[in-house]
Structure 1
Amino acid sequence: MRRAFITLLAANALSVTGTMLCLLAVPWFVLDTTGSPVLTGLASFATTLPIVISAAFGSTMVDRLGFRAVSVLSDLVSGLIVLAVPVLFLTVGLSYPLLLALLFLRWLAATPGETARKAMLPDLSAAAGVRIERATSAYDGVHRGAAMVGAPLAGVLILWLGPNLLLFVDGVTFLLSAALVAAGVPRVERGRRDPAGYAAALRAGLAFLRRDRLQLSATAMIVVVNLLDTGVTQVLLALYAREVTGDPRAFGLLTGVLGAGAVAGTIVYGTAGGRLPMRLTYGWCFLVAGVPRVLVLAMGAPFPAALAVTAMSGFAAGAINPILGILQYDRIPAPLRARVIGTMTAAAYAGMPLGGLLAGSLTAVIGLGATLFAFTGVYLLISVPPFVCRAWRELDRRQPADA
């Protein structure tokens, strides 16, 4: 079963790499063809709204159809949709509304696969004899490592191939991910079908989340941060690279350095995280992950300084997702796992469609620098709850893992 666990990580790495290629290729493609930050923000909206819809209503389907089947089908459909973008562009032509429609469908299809792979993790790690702290760190580390490689690779490939041909590579990564899971991951899920039906199963996931104040607070924080991160990653960094450096490689380097720092942070947390106080570790890492990397851009620091600070923020971010994963696997019963994780994903992503629109619109009105300062202030405010809210003190009672 250790081989199956590694195969799951490899498949997720391919899927994440394709996602990073798409996240960088699309905003640069829109900026290159329209020159409009508002239209770039609208494209971001088209890639994030379907995540919310699919996570909210597709997670119960994941429980009912099976984790492995949904992972394979999701990546297969996503890959074919992504391949359609450059094919249409190079043949009959690709209008902006059609691009938005394809982006919407691509993310609508991709999200259940991500939920399914995450839901498989505790079963496969237990069968492989891997402790949950190390399993969540490995999963997040592979995710961030793929982002670290995919982002600068995208910046280079945009110059070499152009953003439209880069999407060919994106589509192939999804097809390879589907093939890996189909061939190398067994069906490990136990009977999770809810005889009460789809609607009742969906309500059960929502009811569980409403009762858990700690996870509600964590999800609320992620709602705001995902909104901000979407605006920064999909709009503000592209504008910064275009206006300040004039080089798409700067876009890829900033995103890649963030991922590199996060990989290092995830490795450190996977090694020593079981001996650290979970609440304070989460609180400080959340603060450092958001504020400095945007503030340094707002202050107009030299590009090497921006890279260094971004790497530091990435290192802090490395502990965030593993801690959230432990929180979910500790507190969510196995029969509800996919639907509750999906509900949390939908809630956490609810602000993302607005992030790109907000960033693009604010930049058009007040300029790039002022928008970056505004985002920095919100990052600071949303980092407060782990330090002051009573619900977060439940993490202080979790027993550290053995060294």
Structure 2
Amino acid sequence: MTLRSKVSPRYLLSCALSLLGNSVAGVILPLVLLATTGDALAAGTLALICALPQMLIGLVGGALIDRLNRRDVSIASDVLSAASVALLPVVDMTVGLDFGWFVALGLLGAVGDIPGMTARDALLPAVCDHDYRSLQKFMGMSQSVESLTAIAGPALAAFLLTLTGGVSALWLTAALSLAAALVTLTLPRSIGRVGDGAAAPAGGRGGIASGAVAALRDGVRVLFRDDALLRSSTLLTFGIIMVMGSFQGLVLPVHFTAAGTPELLGFVLSALSAGMLVSSLAYSALAHRLRRRTWLIASLSGIAVGVAVLGSLASFPVMLAGALAVGLSAGPASALLGFFAFDRIPADRRGAALGTQNSLTLAAAPAAVFASSAVTEAGGAPLAALVLVGCWLAVTLWALATPSLRHLDGEGDGAPAASRRERGRAAAGGRGPEGAL
């Protein structure tokens, strides 16, 4: 194999840089917004405003990716991300930041996030073919990169906040996204070509718009109408994303900002991610030792205990322990939900279903963050945390009682590694404060 053909290390490096930039920004941006506006409701409003274009772009993303070179889309996405973040400190140094600037630059970043994420994922099989690598093994490597960046990102954000302050820390975030684009630029353009190089007729004769509508209709049918288990697992996924996204994107930033220790947020999120990595690896090794129903009960119950501890907003060590407990419990549930999605969705409808799921996630998570911001504005972060703990307990009781999630051990066979990767992407999709497990 020639040196020129070894594109997989550069692909992984590009993924790591892009994901690290997203992870750091996901911690710093809510804190910068709170420091600038002093208004918890502003953070929720920003998430909601940016959600609509992200949702619309997510719906057309599949059709767009099937028409354009995927390498080029990935590069353009990272450049847009770098520009939207770098302009924040530029504006702060010149005319001064206000809520309007956060909205404008948030919308700029939203344009590229979902198509770029989809394009990068779509490149992976082509990278494996180019380097003659096993897809299954390479996806494991890619998942490891994502898990490590989820741990390193919040810790790096905490270090930058301590060293430079919130707005100045965004320079490194922009640099990471730009570096990802430059690394992707070194990949041969041929790996991003769709089919034989001709434009794919995405969406049929009606073009991208009609294709997006058709994909949404088909995706909703697959996720919510045809299969009771898939419907329940999808709803449970939304519950996790909405509750944990509200904690990460609003309640915890407000709490640590009010305490004068915003840098501690990064350590709490790193503890959660580290626990998630450990529990996911443990589940991969021990999955067949217990029944799936047993794994689900233990995982959801453990998350409930961790969320209750985290939601107490007690001392930093207690919150750190709560975040670690959530992460150590969440791996099996995340793996099972991802497995059911990939096992139950027909292969020829997977794109429509996952694209619809990503788009609905981009709407649900910011809506939850906005509702949490309203509660926080009315009664403070402790009240919002208490409400979220109650919501998670209700979600847990529903999941344990719903008939479709009771008998799981006859439901398909297969390794959940690839599913976890895609489900994690769906749960964390985007740079905004809506990121969750």
TM-score by length of 1: 0.85
CA shift for structure 1 position 20:
2.1
CA distance in 1, matches of 2:89, 2:55: 26
Kept in 1: contact 2:216–2:352 (CA 8 A)? yes
Map of 2:57 onto structure 1 = 54
CA distance in 2, matches of 1:395, 1:219: 18
Which string of whole-angstrom CA distances, capped at 9 and with x for unpartnered residues, describes residues 50-74 of structure 1? 4323212323212332433322221
CA shift for structure 1 position 232:
1.0
1:198 to 187, 196, 208: 208
CA distance in 2, matches of 1:180, 1:274: 40
Kept in 2: contact 1:136–1:326 (CA 8 A)? no
CA distance in 1, matches of 2:41, 2:138: 40
CA distance in 2, matches of 1:257, 1:10: 24
CA shift for structure 1 position 10:
3.1
One-letter amino acid of the counterpart of residue 230, structure 2: Q
Map of 2:381 onto structure 1 = 368
CA distance in 2, matches of 1:287, 1:119: 35
CA shift for structure 1 position 233:
0.9
Moved over 6 A (4+): none
Specify the SS of the correspondent of 2:363: coil
* Match runs of 1:117-128 below 5 Å: 117-121=120-124, 128=133
CA distance in 1, matches of 2:79, 2:258: 37
Which string of whole-angstrom CA distances, capped at 9 and with x for unpartnered residues, describes residues 228-284 of structure 1? 22321121111221334x312211111111111112223334444476645553554
Map of 1:129 onto structure 2 = 134
Map of 1:164 onto structure 2 = 167
Map of 1:99 onto structure 2 = 102
Paired positions, count? 398
CA distance in 1, matches of 2:10, 2:330: 25
- The reply to whether residue 237 of structure 1 matches residue 237 of structure 2 is no
Map of 2:231 onto structure 1 = 216
Map of 2:241 onto structure 1 = 226
CA distance in 1, matches of 2:385, 2:31: 19
- The reply to whether residue 145 of structure 1 matches residue 145 of structure 2 is no
TM-score by length of 2: 0.79
One-letter amino acid of the counterpart of residue 36, structure 2: T
Q: For structure 2, which runs of at least 5 residues remain unmatched after alignment?
A: 417-437
1:345 to 337, 358, 363: 358
Kept in 1: contact 2:69–2:194 (CA 8 A)? yes
- The reply to whether residue 248 of structure 1 matches residue 259 of structure 2 is no
* Match runs of 1:173-322 below 5 Å: 173-184=176-187, 186-187=191-192, 190=195, 193-194=201-202, 195-196=204-205, 197-202=207-212, 203-204=214-215, 206-211=217-222, 212-213=226-227, 214-244=229-259, 246-273=260-287, 277-278=291-292, 280-282=294-296, 284-289=298-303, 291-322=304-335
Kept in 2: contact 1:66–1:189 (CA 8 A)? yes
Kept in 2: contact 1:274–1:400 (CA 8 A)? no
Judged with a 3 Å threshold, the aligned counterparts in structure 2 of structure 1 residues 319 and 56 are, in CA distance, closer, same or farther, namely farther
- The reply to whether residue 396 of structure 1 matches residue 410 of structure 2 is yes
Q: Tell which deviates more after alignment, 365-374 or 49-58.
A: 49-58
- The reply to whether residue 378 of structure 1 matches residue 391 of structure 2 is yes
One-letter amino acid of the counterpart of residue 152, structure 2: V
CA shift for structure 1 position 190:
4.1
CA distance in 2, matches of 1:296, 1:371: 14
Which string of whole-angstrom CA distances, capped at 9 and with x for unpartnered residues, describes residues 323-367 of structure 1? 454444445566654443221101122212222222221122223
CA distance in 1, matches of 2:52, 2:271: 27
**Percent of residue pairs bearing the same amino acid type:** 25
Judged with a 3 Å threshold, the aligned counterparts in structure 2 of structure 1 residues 208 and 44 are, in CA distance, closer, same or farther, namely closer
Q: Tell which deviates more after alignment, 320-329 or 73-82.
A: 320-329
Kept in 2: contact 1:40–1:235 (CA 8 A)? yes
Judged with a 3 Å threshold, the aligned counterparts in structure 2 of structure 1 residues 383 and 114 are, in CA distance, closer, same or farther, namely farther
Judged with a 3 Å threshold, the aligned counterparts in structure 2 of structure 1 residues 252 and 130 are, in CA distance, closer, same or farther, namely same
Q: For structure 1, which runs of at least 5 residues remain unmatched after alignment?
A: none
Q: Tell which deviates more after alignment, 205-214 or 223-232.
A: 205-214
* Match runs of 1:8-87 below 5 Å: 8-87=11-90
CA distance in 2, matches of 1:313, 1:60: 37
Which string of whole-angstrom CA distances, capped at 9 and with x for unpartnered residues, describes residues 144-164 of structure 1? 321211112112212321221
CA shift for structure 1 position 210:
1.1
CA distance in 1, matches of 2:29, 2:311: 24
Which string of whole-angstrom CA distances, capped at 9 and with x for unpartnered residues, describes residues 154-193 of structure 1? 1221232122121111111112222333324733754764
CA distance in 2, matches of 1:332, 1:68: 27
Map of 1:110 onto structure 2 = 113
One-letter amino acid of the counterpart of residue 206, structure 1: R
One-letter amino acid of the counterpart of residue 163, structure 2: W
Q: Tell which deviates more after alignment, 39-48 or 160-169.
A: 39-48
* Match runs of 1:316-331 below 5 Å: 316-331=329-344
CA shift for structure 1 position 209:
4.1
One-letter amino acid of the counterpart of residue 233, structure 1: Q
